[in-house]
Structure 1
């Protein structure tokens, strides 16, 4: 099963530990997780615009 983690995140990634904990719990339960800030924006190293696909 898949789970999308739709959570408010901060640009300084101050809630990264919380996001990682949620992902870890879901993955331990057998879910494949996806999260934009983690997977696409690489914890802030990649900036996406509304026009980015």
Structure 2
């Protein structure tokens, strides 16, 4: 039983941190994509 708890502590924590960081990065990438699209639209409007 103690071995199971050790495995959860050794593997569970890195998995939880990885999931948290993945969710944060996904949000930042979507915001960055929106900003790039807005910039592209602004440049396109400026050139015409």
After TM superposition, the score normalised by the length of structure 2 is: 0.34
Whose helix fraction is larger, Structure 1's or Structure 2's?
A: 2
Higher relative contact order (CA 8 A, sep 6+): 1
After TM superposition, the score normalised by the length of structure 1 is: 0.32
Whose strand fraction is larger, Structure 1's or Structure 2's?
A: 1
